[in-house]
């Protein structure tokens, strides 16, 4: 498997696709999110696994997103996600609220190829009252217990940023194994990586447990610093100043447009020279 171009990867994402994204603490591909903005993607439906962060907010700000299913949207210490909040207020965005383990459980059902899975908790929460797709049943093993069952969730595309890909297209994500879950559960996985290295991670006992088999990877592209401003394991840390500056700029539509011109469009033009 050979890497493809980042912009070509973005071009392969159809408008309206259901895309699973990990948040800022678990290897988001901010590089591909920016490429999707450059390609002018529209009506994307995002799933936060299990919550949403920076990449989701910039995609919403750029008008790429019609709907978000997530358990929370936040920029962490930088506070509320500004373009998410603005779009919600303007009624431009459909939000389906969930709770973290429910997102994981729905993806795990897809991963196992079963139609649904049960999860405790949730009953009595208004999240459930607003989720006609989640059902309460009587446990078939204990007539005294009511329990929620959740449908399998099959995203069209899993998007994340790995540390490295090998000659076979296996991708190393270390302990961030939720990326494996979304790759397993999704019809396609589009992955950006810092670098490509020779060899086969699956033949290395130390790398194999943190590796996603190429079976699940549809394509990968090299994007250095592709998670930035999010951290990449122990390669580079979270850029709090960058996110704080974004949070300030994103407070207004004009501020966001300026930020986007500089950090999404100009930055790419400079890199391409």
Partner 1 sequence: MSYRPEELLAVTLAKLIRAVPTRHIAVGAASPVPAAACWLAVKQGEPVRLSLLHKRTGNPFTEGTRELFDLTGQGRVDLFFLGGGQIDGQANLNLIGTGEWPGREVRFPGSFGSAFMYFMTGRTILFREEHSPRVLVDKVAHISAPGISEPGVYRRGHAQALVTGRCVFAFHPDRGRFSLASVHPGETVEGVREMTGFAFDVDGEVPQTPAPTEEELALLRGSVCDEMMETYPEFCSRVFDRKLAA
Residues in contact with partner 1 by the rule CB under 8 A: 25-26, 49-51, 70-74, 76-77, 80-81, 85, 88-89, 91, 95, 97-102, 104, 108, 119-128, 130, 144-147, 175-181, 231, 234, 237-238
**Nearest residue (CB) to partner 1, 253 versus 266:** 253
Closest contact distance (angstroms) between CB of 138 and partner 1 is 8
Nearest to 182 by CA among 6, 27, 10: 27
Chain centre distance of CA 107: 13
**CB 33, min distance to partner 1, A:** 19
Least CB distance to partner 1 at residue 97 (A)? 5
CB of 73 to partner 1, least distance (A): 6
Helices (H), ranges, the chain:
6-11, 30-39, 54-61, 82-89, 100-112, 126-129, 178-185, 240-249, 253-260, 267-272
| CB of 14 or CB of 121, closer to partner 1 | 121
CB of 67 to partner 1, least distance (A): 12
* DSSP secondary structure letter of residue 14: -
Are 139 and 146 contacting, i.e. CB atoms less than 8 angstroms apart?
yes
Specify whether the CB–CB gap between 61 and 256 falls below 8 A. Answer: yes
- Identify the bridge partners of residue 236 per DSSP, sorted by sequence position: 232
Per-residue DSSP letters for 186-251? Answer: SSEEEEEEEEE-SS-GGG-TTTGGGEE-GGG-SEEEE-TTTTTTS-BTTTB---HHHHHHHHHHTT
Query: Closer CB to partner 1, residue 3 or residue 180?
Result: 180
CB of 125 to partner 1, least distance (A): 4
Q: Crossing angle, helix 240-249 and helix 54-61, to 10 degrees?
A: 30
- Which C-beta is closer to partner 1: that of 11 or that of 95? 95
Q: Which is nearer to partner 1, 108 or 192 (CB)?
A: 108
- Closer to partner 1 at the Cβ: 52 or 170? 52
Instruction: Measure the CA–CA gap between 158 and 188, rounded to whole angstroms.
Output: 6
């Amino acid at each position: 498997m050979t890497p493809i171009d980042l912009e070509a990867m973005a071009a392969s994402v159809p408008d309206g696709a259901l895309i699973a994204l990990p948040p800022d603490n678990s290897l988001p591909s901010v590089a591909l999110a920016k490429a999707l903005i450059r390609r002018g993607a529209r009506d994307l439906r995002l799933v936060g696994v299990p919550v949403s962060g920076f990449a989701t907010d910039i995609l919403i700000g750029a008008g790429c997103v019609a709907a978000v299913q997530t358990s929370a949207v936040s920029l962490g210490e930088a506070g509320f996600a500004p373009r998410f909040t603005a779009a919600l207020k303007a009624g431009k965005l459909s939000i389906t609220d969930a709770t973290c383990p429910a997102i994981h459980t729905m993806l795990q059902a897809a991963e196992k190829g079963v139609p649904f899975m049960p999860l405790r908790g949730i009953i009595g929460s208004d999240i459930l009252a607003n989720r006609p797709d989640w059902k309460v049943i009587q446990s078939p093993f204990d007539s005294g217990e009511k329990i929620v069952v959740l449908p399998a969730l099959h995203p069209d595309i899993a998007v994340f940023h790995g540390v490295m890909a090998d000659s076979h297209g296996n991708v190393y994500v270390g302990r961030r194994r939720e990326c494996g879950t979304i790759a397993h559960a999704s019809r396609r996985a589009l992955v950006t990586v810092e670098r490509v290295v020779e060899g086969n991670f699956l033949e290395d006992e130390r790398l194999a447990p943190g590796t996603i088999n190429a079976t699940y990877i549809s394509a990968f592209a090299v994007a250095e610093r592709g998670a930035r401003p999010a951290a990449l394991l122990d390669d580079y840390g979270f850029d709090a100043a960058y996110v704080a500056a974004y949070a300030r700029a994103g407070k207004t539509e004009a501020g966001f447009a300026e930020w986007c011109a500089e950090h999404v469009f100009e930055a790419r033009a400079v890199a391409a020279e």
